[in-house]
Amino acid sequence: MRYYATASGPQVREAMAAGLLGMIATPAAGNTVPAGVDWCADNSCFTPGRYPGDAAYLRWLTGRRDRAGRCAFATAPDVPYDAAATLTRAEPMLEHIRAAGFPAALVAQDGLEDLPISWRSFDALFLGGTTGWKLGPAAAQLARQARRRGLWVHMGRVNSLRRLRYAQSIGCHSADGTFLAYGPDRNLPILLAWLRTVAQDPATPAGPHRSS
């Protein structure tokens, strides 16, 4: 299980450089992605007013194209908690993200299970949505469908060992969260212990590895 965290402090950045953690980068944060670090690109849509717009987002990605080989995915813009609106917003951008050299991710939102999904148009499924939906049977079934198609599966907002284990149990290859954003030096050893624990679980899923 790969965990993508914010680069909060020198100890966290050292853990990323050592391959113990991945980095989640967003246009709103303006992150510099160090060479040799596994990472993913998120669009910042979850926080109102932080998405820079399609053209600016693609420019931001293009500016990091030399790091694309270690990027698990870049999320297409989404509408939190609304699957239909997300599909309308995301579909035109998925091909542009791929054209920029990145694996494109669709952010799954509440109700996606009831809509037609063009699975070939994206490379990763990012489980977003409300907490209840994300931890419910619909999201688990979508994760299974994505894995059967060879897609990367990721869960957002994972900030406990219990949720990390759950994400792994439904087939997620990776997760992210803000656990290190608050007290990174104190929380880093805790998070690394969680990752060691899930690595020893017998249900650890195998999946694609996008690092060079």
84-137, pLDDT tens digit by residue?
999 999 999 999 999 999 999 999 999 999 999 999 999 999 999 999 999 999
Q: Identify the CA nearest to 175 among candidates 203, 211, 134, 141.
A: 134
Q: Which two tokens stand for residue 169?
A: 């149990």
Question: Is 4:40 a contact under the CB 8 Å cutoff?
Answer: yes
pLDDT recorded at residue 201: 84
SS (H, E, C) 68-88: HHHEEEEECCCCCCCHHHHHH
* Overall fold of domain 2-199: TIM Barrel (3.20.20)
